[in-house]
């Protein structure tokens, strides 16, 4: 056994280098500091984690999961322990509080030499993060799987790194949530913001007010045992669970069983459409606060986290404006606007929650200077409110720019930074109030089978922005590592790659699905709120069309665009482009049997047809034989426009090829 010789390298250089062993240490998120060593620790066929110097039950459980996780990564049977096993020694301090707080020390150091590996961390949280880094380092070696020699010193840039999951618009089974908790832990996210009540459903069993879930959920709710199961599962991974019960708006489902809480008389029915609706609680009734006191008291016992999220977004005030009783109340109290009324309502909630031992969190609408400084503001309407909150002495987290349901590319989310812009200009102590942020998965267009694919791998780019130093910002490098991370997540049991494929094959209706997969690889769903505008959706609308099966971001299109740019810059890669275009030229015809088998695919026909025509045009231009006709120009415009709620992502590079051909 040779002694490891340490080579100091700056972080970027260490990561840009593809190492001799073939691996590339595709960590995600990147650590604060990494020094590559020489050689590697071979894993052989057994593995032992020694946790004697770390007594936390969570670390011991995570260490016990290492061998099966390594087996899943490598496809090789890994035994736990035994003579000659590769050893990872873990040393950590005790957790400072019985319940994980919003700010904890999550730092750790990890060193790997050919003789063994060691994680040291002041808390169990750091040890858990270090274990994930260790797992990410595993790579195929020449003789066996291995962990490259390395020294890592790491800590997060922001303490609050969350993912919001909306279990209301579409109900999501416990198993789906657990998978996503596994994935969050893999990329060092530490908050599940669980959106649990909405116009479309009240999703938690309440023993105090059972009509809430019995009449307000269509039978799709989490029992209290299931909630405890999720909270325990998250806790074991160093993840907090912050529940959101959105009030006073977004509450139609509450009113089905409890119309007395509403500002306008009922009866109410569970909302089936998407959007912003009028029903809101009556903020003038003591009965409402008594109700919330008891309900929140019950829920506060179920969720141990210090924070309790009360929503507070999108109250349109229509029911309040229409109520003479509320008008009178406002007049009496001198509340000049609905905003002031809402603020008074929130002040009562803060008080109630404080009595139940909780700090209040809410969307940025709740931010008014009269509220006590313990509240936390979640910025969704734009980054300005985050800076405003911090300047006013309020803690804040960013979600603006991180709405996963907007179907934006990972690069767009990656460019968003809670510490940039107006926040960067704030004084140090105000900047420190910016605790981090949350990716948001709203589920109007997400069923359980689509969930993983709508979150991952894009959320990993957000996780990196929240963990890694601000200087980690190279987009190409991020995409390279994201591909590795995506595979690691599948090994962990996520279905973001397998489920979309299964949906495509269902659309192929028993015919060979290759041509449909090739088309889908080039498509993305329309962005932002465009789907809601495209047709009338409800919670009953089947989400089983092509737009539901294609992934949010087309890797194939990104690669083709890069190929075209390189070719147009220097002439390289012509053969590859010609081969690619030839495949697309033949695509439309190869779809014939699928189009015949399933009427749901009819909407794909014009897209495929125009793609094949445009590919043929580009091929003719590459052969130098064509000056594009007005029909050709119309064709290029057509493929650039959304159809069937889909975008053909190779439209732009094909246009570039054609236009470049015109002016040689």
Q: What angle do CA 140, 144, 150 make, to 5 degrees?
A: 60
Least Å from the CB of residue 214 to its own copies: 18
Contacts 24+ apart (CB under 8 A), 323-327: 323/263, 323/264, 323/282, 325/282, 325/284, 326/263, 326/282, 326/283, 326/284
Is-cis flag, bond preceding 344, omega within 30? Answer: no
SS (H, E, C) 530-555: HHHHHCCCECCCCCCCHHHHCCCCCH
Q: Is 528 left (phi over 0), alpha (psi -120 to 50) or beta?
A: left
Q: What is the DSSP letter of 439?
A: E
Q: Report the interface residues with its own copies, using CB under 8 A.
A: 18, 22-24, 26, 45, 73-77, 139-142, 447, 449, 481, 483-485, 487-488, 490-491, 497-498, 501-503, 505-506, 508-512, 540, 542-544, 548, 555, 559, 575-576, 579, 582-583, 586, 596-600
Q: Which is nearer to its own copies, 490 or 645 (CB)?
A: 490
Query: Which CB sits closer to its own copies, 18 or 232?
Result: 18
**CB nearer its own copies, residue 483 or residue 631:** 483
Q: How far is the CB of 449 from its own copies (least distance, A)?
A: 7
What is the 8-class DSSP label of residue 496?
Answer: T
Cα 548 from Cα 453, distance rounded (Å) = 10
Please tell me which residue in 214, 314, 576, 605 is annotated as part of the active site: 314
Q: Which of 540/663 has CB closer to its own copies?
A: 540
**Smallest separation (angstroms) from its own copies to the CB of 134:** 17
Distance CA 540, CA 103 (A): 41
Alpha-carbon distance 17 to 477, whole Å? 11
Output the smallest distance, CB 509 to its own copies, in A.
6
- What is the closest distance, in whole angstroms, from the C-beta atom of residue 450 to its own copies in the complex? 9
**DSSP for residue 3:** P
Which residue, 134 or 158, has its beta carbon nearer to its own copies?
134
CB 238 to its own copies: min, Å: 25
Alpha helices in 415-524 (DSSP H): 428-431, 448-455, 458-467, 475-491, 498-508, 514-520
Q: How far is the CB of 206 from its own copies (least distance, A)?
A: 24
CA atoms within 13 Å, Cβ hemisphere of 598: 21
Cβ 465 vs Cβ 458: under 8 Å: no
273/517 Cα distance (integer angstroms): 31
> 48 has which bridge partners?
87
| 4 torsion bin: left (phi>0), alpha (psi -120 to 50), beta (else) | beta
Nearer to its own copies, 16 or 76 (CB): 76
Q: From the CB of 547, what's the least distance to its own copies, in Å?
A: 12
Instruction: Look up residue 273 and give its DSSP letter.
Output: B
Q: Annotated catalytic, 328?
A: no
Pairing of strands 201-202, 191-198: antiparallel
E-assigned strands of 107-217? Answer: 108-113, 116-121, 139-140, 145-154, 160-166, 191-198, 201-202
Please tell me what DSSP assigns to residue 256: H
- The least distance separating its own copies from the CB of residue 104, rounded to whole angstroms, comes to 30
SS3 198: strand
Q: Which is nearer to its own copies, 18 or 629 (CB)?
A: 18
Shortest spacing between CB 17 and its own copies, in angstroms: 13
Distance of alpha carbon 264 from alpha carbon 281, whole angstroms = 8
| Distance of alpha carbon 193 from alpha carbon 191, whole angstroms | 6
Q: Which of 382, 372, 379, 397 is nearest to 312 (CA)?
A: 379
Which of 576, 659 has the CB closer to its own copies? Answer: 576
Active site residues: 314
């Amino acid at each position: 056994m040779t002694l490891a010789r340490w080579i100091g390298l700056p972080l970027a250089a260490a990561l840009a280098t593809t190492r001799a062993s073939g691996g590339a240490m595709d960590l995600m998120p990147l650590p604060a500091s990494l020094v590559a060593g020489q050689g590697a620790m071979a894993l052989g066929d057994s593995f032992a984690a020694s946790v004697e110097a770390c007594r936390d039950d969570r670390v011991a459980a995570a260490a016990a999961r290492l061998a099966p996780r390594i087996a899943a990564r490598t496809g090789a049977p890994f035994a736990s322990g035994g003579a000659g096993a590769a050893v990872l020694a873990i040393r950590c301090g005790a957790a400072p509080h019985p319940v994980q707080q919003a700010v904890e020390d999550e730092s750790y150091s990890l060193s790997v030499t050919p003789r063994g590996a060691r994680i040291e961390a002041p808390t169990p949280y750091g040890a858990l993060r270090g274990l994930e880094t260790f797992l990410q380092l595993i790579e195929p070696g020449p003789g066996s799987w291995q962990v490259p020699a390395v020294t890592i010193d790491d800590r997060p840039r922001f303490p609050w790194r969350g993912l919001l999951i909306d279990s209301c618009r579409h109900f999501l089974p416990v198993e789906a949530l657990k998978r996503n908790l596994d994935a969050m832990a893999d990329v060092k996210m530490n908050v599940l913001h669980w959106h649990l009540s909405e116009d479309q459903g009240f999703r938690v069993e309440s023993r105090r007010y059972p009509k809430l879930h019995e009449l307000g959920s269509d039978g799709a709710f989490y029992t209290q045992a299931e909630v405890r199961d999720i909270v325990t599962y998250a806790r074991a991974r160093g993840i907090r669970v912050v529940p959101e019960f959105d009030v006073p708006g977004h509450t139609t489902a509450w009113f089905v069983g409890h119309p007395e809480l509403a500002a306008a008389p009922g009866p109410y029915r569970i909302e089936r459409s998407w959007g912003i609706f009028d029903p809101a609680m009556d903020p003038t009734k003591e009965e409402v606060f008594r109700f919330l006191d008891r309900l929140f008291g019950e829920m506060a016992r179920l969720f141990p986290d210090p924070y309790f999220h009360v929503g507070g977004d999108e109250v349109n005030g229509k029911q309040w404006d229409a109520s003479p009783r509320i008008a009178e109340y406002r007049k009496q109290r001198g509340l000049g606007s609905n905003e002031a009324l809402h603020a008074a309502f929130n002040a009562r909630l803060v008080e109630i929650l404080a009595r139940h031992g909780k700090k209040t969190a809410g969307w940025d609408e709740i931010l008014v200077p009269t509220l006590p400084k313990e509240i936390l503001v979640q910025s969704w309407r734009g980054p300005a409110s985050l800076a405003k909150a911090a300047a006013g002495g309020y803690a804040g987290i960013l979600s603006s720019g991180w709405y996963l349901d907007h179907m934006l590319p990972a690069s767009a989310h990656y460019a968003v930074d809670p510490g940039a812009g107006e926040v960067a200009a704030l004084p140090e102590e105000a900047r420190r109030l910016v605790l981090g942020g949350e990716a948001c998965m709203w589920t109007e267009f997400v069923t359980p089978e689509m969930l993983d694919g709508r979150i991952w791998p894009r959320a990993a780019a957000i996780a990196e922005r929240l963990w890694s130093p601000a200087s980690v910002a190279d987009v190409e490098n991020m995409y390279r590592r994201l591909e590795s991370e995506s595979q690691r997540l599948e090994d962990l049991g996520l279905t973001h790659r397998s489920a979309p494929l299964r949906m495509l094959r269902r659309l192929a209706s028993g015919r060979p699905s290759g041509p449909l997969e090739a088309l889908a690889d080039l498509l993305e769903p329309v962005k932002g709120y465009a789907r809601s505008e495209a047709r009338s959706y409800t919670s009953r609308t089947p989400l089983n069309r092509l737009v539901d099966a294609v992934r949010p971001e087309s890797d194939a299109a990104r690669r083709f665009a890069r190929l075209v740019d390189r070719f147009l810059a220097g002439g390289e890669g012509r053969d590859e482009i010609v081969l690619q275009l030839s495949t697309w030229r033949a695509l439309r015809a190869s779809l014939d049997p699928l189009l015949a088998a399933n009427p749901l695919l009819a909407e794909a026909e014009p897209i495929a047809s125009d793609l094949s025509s445009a590919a043929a045009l580009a091929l003719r231009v590459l052969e130098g034989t064509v000056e594009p006709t007005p029909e050709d120009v119309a064709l290029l415009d057509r493929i650039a426009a959304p159809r069937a709620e889909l975008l053909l992502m190779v439209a732009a590079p094909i246009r570039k090829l054609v236009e470049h051909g015109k002016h040689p």
